[in-house]
Amino acid sequence: MSLATRPGRLFGTNGIRGIINEELTPDFVLEFSQAIGTFFQAGKVLVGHDGRTSSPALASVVDAGLTACGCQVTHIGFATTPMVQFLTKKWKMRGGVAVTASHNPPEYNGLKVIGDDGIEIEAEDELRIEENYRAKSWKLAEWDKVGHTTESSIGLEEYKASIKANIDQEAARRRKLKVVVDAANGVGALTTPAVLSELGCKVLTINANIDGTFPARQPEPVPGNLQQLSEGVRSSGADFGVAHDGDADRAIFVDDKGVAHWGDHSFALIEDWFLSANPGETIVTPVSSSQVVDQIAKRHGSKVVWTKVGSIHVSKTMQRIGARLGGEENGGIFYGPHHPVRDGAMAAALIAKILSQRSEALSTLFRKLPTFYSSKDKVPCRNDFKASALEAVRKLTSKFEVDTTDGIKVWQPDRSWVLIRPSGTEPAIRIFAEAKTQQKAKQLVRRYKALLQRFAKGS
Ligand code: MG
């Protein structure tokens, strides 16, 4: 079913997503881009796209919709999402559009709409665009006010220069790190290998040809998907490996022993380095992150601000309170001195910087972190039963310490916790637990799954 006829909200947690030519059709994208162009009030808009098979064509459709509304479009072609975000701000655009479905399978595509601050637009602005689209109240320009599209290829150099300006290049050069980059056949191939090599690293790449069919692996960089990278790091004797998703805003790291680590643990390493130089600064992370983030902050006399899950909440919170570092469990690192959005190339450069300042191996740095184990699962639940199921669980857990920043996070007396959140993308409730032992984490997930199954109604 085309998104044009789908009832309910069109924007999900990360922009609009749909199956190419089935849900996300060219005519839908054209009209929706007219609604976006109207929202941007005929201003200057940056457009970039990922490496999916349909992305160049859909980006041209976006250009057409925007210029029809009088917007002046700067079209940068293949680009990572963090590149589009960074340049939207740097070039003082009224907004930006990234044509990407991030880590979704190859048959998907999508649109991320970016504000003039280079961060995704807020939910109420998404709603305004949706309403404009539904009411077909977009404003096409008079014949002599139609905008035009200018192609630009200088953005990549400006983006790389900003990352490099935040790294001590001399130290990076001295350490002569060897790094394997797995770009998932996505646009990260354009940024991370070049950034690391210009910083003096010896870079080996895998899956670095852009191919929208994602022939090597699914574009979601979760530790279970990264055997090829682990093998590459081990066989080449590299210092570390880094894997991105399809639009390279996320980075998951593999240590020198070939072990892949969850994003909140690599974030904790970056946090430890950052707070050593800037003790007392506030750190921002979603409630789904490991408490290792909190323990590292406490060591440096710092505090953590916990947000709802979703990159925009981390970015906007950092902006609001003036924090300079944020991170997510899925491999998002937000480094404010460069740009406060999650950025895979910036994350890779930071890990290179940390290693170049220390004599230890990455595996040793990970081993020194406090150890926690996590476990996750989900329970099918119709969207209209999610709220009542959550409320029922909340009532039953009233004797525990409960955090309702996003869903329900229940703290146990031994400081293990379980987070129960309605999924934003499917009819299910997600359960995520962290504890001092793997067994305890699994046990918590099992217990809350059984509890939820009493109240959830599967579809
Ligand atoms: Mg992404």
Query: pLDDT of 223-252, one tens digit each?
Result: 888 999 999 999 999 999 999 999 999 999
Structure pTM? 0.95
| Confidence at residue 142, expressed as pLDDT on a 0 to 100 scale | 98
SS3 at position 279: coil
Q: Does pLDDT of 149 surpass 70?
A: yes
> Does the pLDDT of residue 422 top 80, yes or no?
yes
pLDDT tens, residue by residue, 150-202:
999 999 999 999 999 999 888 778 888 999 999 999 999 999 999 999 999 99
> Quick check: 90 pLDDT over 70?
yes
What pLDDT score was predicted for residue 458? 73
Tokens of 152: 């630009």
Average pLDDT over residues 299-327: 97
Between 1 and 330, the more confident residue is 330
Distance 397 CA to ligand 1 centre (A): 34
Residue 274 CA neighbour count, 13 Å, CB half: 29
Question: What's the chain's average pLDDT?
Answer: 95
Ligand 1 centroid – CA 80 distance (Å): 9
Please compute the mean of the pLDDT values over residues 113-123 and round it to a whole number: 97
The tokens for 452 are: 């939820």
What is the 15 CA–ligand 1 centroid distance (Å)? Answer: 11
Q: pLDDT per residue over 3-37, tens digit each?
A: 988 888 888 878 899 999 999 999 999 999 999 99
Ligand 1: centre distance to CA 246 (Å): 6
Q: How far is the CA of 332 from the centre of ligand 1 (A)?
A: 9
Give the model's confidence band at 290: pLDDT under 50 very low, under 70 low, under 90 confident, else very high: very high
The mean per-residue pLDDT over the stretch 266-287 comes to 97
HEC profile of 295-356? HHHHHCCCCEEEECCCHHHHHHHHHHHCCCEEECCCCEEEECCCECCCCHHHHHHHHHHHHH
Q: Which of 54, 102, 289, 374 is catalytic?
A: 102
448 has pLDDT over 90: yes
pLDDT attached to residue 366: 97
Percent of the chain with pLDDT over 70: 100
Report the pLDDT averaged over residues 398-411.
93
pLDDT at 295: 97
* pLDDT, average across residues 349-371: 95
Could you tell me which residues come within 8 angstroms of residue 349 by beta carbon, excluding any fewer than 6 positions away?
Answer: 163, 164, 166, 167, 195, 196, 199
Which residues are near ligand 1, the ion (C-beta closer than 5 Å)?
102, 245, 247, 249
Ligand 1 centre and the CA of 68: distance in Å? 29
Q: How many angstroms is it from 249 CA to the middle of ligand 1?
A: 5
Q: Is residue 397 within 8 Å of residue 419, measured between CB atoms?
A: no
Confidence of residue 459 (pLDDT cuts 50, 70, 90): low
How far, in Å, is the centroid of ligand 1 from the Cα of 140?
A: 32
Q: Is the CB of residue 397 less than 8 Å from the CB of residue 412? A: no
Q: What is the mean pLDDT of residues 268-289?
A: 97
User: 311: CA distance to ligand 1 center in Å?
Assistant: 10
CA distance 23 to 44: 28
Q: What angle do CA 74, 75, 77 make, to 5 degrees?
A: 155
Express as a percent the part of the chain with pLDDT over 90: 88
For residue 224, count CB atoms less than 10 angstroms from its CB and return exposed for 0-12, middle for 13-18, buried for 19 or more.
Answer: exposed
Q: What would the two tokens of residue 413 be?
A: 């007396």
- 102 given a catalytic annotation: yes
Q: What is the DSSP letter of 203?
A: E
In the predicted model, is pLDDT for residue 425 greater than 90? no
